[in-house]
């Protein structure tokens, strides 16, 4: 794993899921970028995946309530 300018190892994950007006997240992206080994940007980060998983879970729950076998 690459180090930063101080020679320390990068570690951790910066998962920015919050959203504020002006297409900005809840953390200072640039300062976290220097220390995190993985980071998700705002916009374009985890939002689309979150929506897809919520939709999948909703369809699965509806299928179960109707007595249908949900798709794998």
Instruction: Kindly report, residue by residue over 33-61, the tens digit of the pLDDT.
Output: 777 777 777 677 777 888 889 999 999 99
Q: Which of 38, 45, 48, 42 is nearest to 28 (CA)?
A: 42
d(CA 10, CA 2) in angstroms, rounded, equals 6
Half-sphere exposure of 30 (CA within 13 A, CB side): 0
Cis peptide before 63 (omega within 30 of 0): no
Does the pLDDT value for residue 5 go beyond 70?
A: no
pTM for the predicted model, two decimal places: 0.49
Q: Who wins on pLDDT, 50 or 25?
A: 50
C-alpha to C-alpha distance for 54 and 26, rounded to whole angstroms: 22
Chain position carrying tokens 């899921």: 17
């Amino acid at each position: 794993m690459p180090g930063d300018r101080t020679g320390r190892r990068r570690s951790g994950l910066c998962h920015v899921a919050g959203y504020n007006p002006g297409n900005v997240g809840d953390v200072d992206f640039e300062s976290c970028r220097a220390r995190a080994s993985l980071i998700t940007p705002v916009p374009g980060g985890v939002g689309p995946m979150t929506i897809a998983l919520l939709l999948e879970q909703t369809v699965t729950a509806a299928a179960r309530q109707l007595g249908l076998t949900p798709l794998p």
